[in-house]
Amino acid sequence: MTMKNDKAWIGDLLGGPLMSRESRIIAELMLTNPDEQTWQEQIVGHNILQASSANTAKRYATTIKLRLNTLDKVAWSLIAEGSERERQQLLFVALILHSPVVKDFLADVVNDLRRQFKEKLPMDSWMSS
């Protein structure tokens, strides 16, 4: 896998993990199609994500919204109302769609190790990709 320094390829890996609980809350909010004022009021004013600061709430909300925008409203509904397993799977799909570097890592590194019947990723897997 050739390393690229392209924002569209990398996406927002530093945005955080899948954030299941927070993503459920954001999906519920996105399903209401809020205007910008309502969005800010919910994220910052009401602190619906229960973040430690307004900046953290905004950062999480932005990351999650960008990821969820790669999916359709049916997926948002499953994230909001589905099982934890459904939510985790859809959030992983959203991460892959938003950060193609993850897709490339899975295709180039993880699949290769699976073909070799490796049960664990070596510690340097990311560096060798």
pTM of the predicted model over 0.85:
no
Alpha carbons 79 and 118: distance in angstroms, whole number? 32
User: What is the pLDDT confidence band of residue 62, given thresholds at 50, 70 and 90?
Assistant: very high
Hey, where are the domains in the chain? 17-98, 99-129
Token pair recorded at residue 56: 């953290």
- What percent of the chain is modeled with pLDDT above 70? 81
Q: Which residue has the higher pLDDT, 3 or 28?
A: 28
Does domain 17-98 bear CATH number 3.90.1150.10? no
Residue-wise burial string across 60-99, b where 16 or more C-beta atoms lie within 10 A, e elsewhere: bbebbbebbeebeeebbebbbebeeeebebbbeebbbebb
